[in-house]
C-alpha cells in the first residue's frame, strides 16, 4: 500500500465517523463541530484527488461560511442545547436495512460499468489555470451553471434570513 492510500483510508474512516456523529450527537454544538470535521475530511479527500480548487472551496465556503453560520444560528436561538428525546425510533432497523440494500445496489451497478473496473494509478495533471478559467466562465454562462449558481446563493440568503427571524426576540 502506498502512503496516499493509507492517508485516504484514515481520512475516509475519520470522515465517516464524524458524519455518523453528526446525526447521532445529542448536543447540537457538538454535532455542528463534527460537521466541520466532516467538511474538513472531504476537503482532504479533494486534495488527494488533486482537485486543489475544490478543496479550497470546501474549506472556505463550507467550513468558513456555512458551518460557522450553523453554529451561530444554534447559539443565537438560546434554546436547550441538549436533545432529551430518543435518538432512534422503532423503524431504525428497517432504515438501516434499506440503506444497506441501496448501497449494495450502487455497488452492483458500478461493477457493470467497464470504465470503473480499470483503475489508473496516476491521474493526468491538467493545466490548473485553464481549468479554473473554464470553470469561471461556466459559472457565468447562461447556458451552463448560471441558474444553479444563482439559485444556490438565493437559498443561502433565505437560510440566513430564516435564522435571523428564528433568533429574533418577539416583543
Cβ distance 103 to 95 under 8 Å?
Answer: no
- Residue 168 CA: distances (Å) to CA of 4, 29, 82, 162, 164: 48, 20, 21, 10, 6
Calculate the CA 147 to chain-centre distance.
21
Calculate the CA 72 to chain-centre distance.
19
The pLDDT value recorded for residue 114 is 67
C-alpha cell at 118: 480499470
Given a cut of 70, the residues of the chain with pLDDT beneath it are 77-88, 114-130, 169-171
The pLDDT value recorded for residue 144 is 80
Q: What does the alpha-carbon distance between residue 63 and residue 41 come to, in Å, rounded to a whole number? A: 11
CA angle 59, 62, 64 (to 5 degrees): 65
The pLDDT value recorded for residue 13 is 95
Q: What does the alpha-carbon distance between residue 88 and residue 141 come to, in Å, rounded to a whole number? A: 45
The pLDDT value recorded for residue 10 is 95
Contacts 24+ apart (CB under 8 A), 138-146: none
What sign for the dihedral angle of Cα 10, 13, 19, 21?
negative
The torsion angles phi and psi of 141, rounded to 5 degrees, stand at -85, 125
Contact partners, residue 31, CB within 8 Å, separation at least 6: 21, 22, 23, 25
Amino acid at each position: 500500500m502506498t502512503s496516499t492510500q493509507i492517508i485516504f483510508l484514515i481520512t475516509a474512516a475519520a470522515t465517516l465517523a464524524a458524519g455518523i456523529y453528526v446525526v447521532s450527537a445529542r448536543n447540537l454544538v457538538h454535532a455542528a463541530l463534527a460537521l466541520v470535521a466532516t467538511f474538513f475530511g472531504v476537503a482532504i479527500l479533494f486534495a488527494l484527488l488533486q482537485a486543489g480548487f475544490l478543496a479550497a472551496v470546501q474549506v472556505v465556503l463550507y467550513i468558513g461560511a456555512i458551518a460557522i453560520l450553523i453554529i451561530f444560528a444554534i447559539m443565537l436561538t438560546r434554546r436547550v442545547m441538549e436533545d432529551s428525546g430518543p435518538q432512534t425510533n422503532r423503524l431504525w432497523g428497517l432504515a438501516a436495512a434499506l440503506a444497506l440494500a441501496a448501497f449494495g445496489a450502487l455497488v452492483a451497478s458500478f461493477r457493470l460499468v467497464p470504465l470503473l473496473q480499470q483503475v489508473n494509478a496516476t491521474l493526468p495533471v491538467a493545466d490548473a489555470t485553464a481549468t479554473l478559467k473554464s470553470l469561471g466562465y461556466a459559472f457565468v454562462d447562461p447556458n451552463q451553471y448560471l441558474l444553479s449558481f444563482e439559485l444556490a446563493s438565493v437559498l443561502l440568503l433565505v437560510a440566513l434570513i430564516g435564522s435571523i427571524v428564528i433568533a429574533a426576540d418577539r416583543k
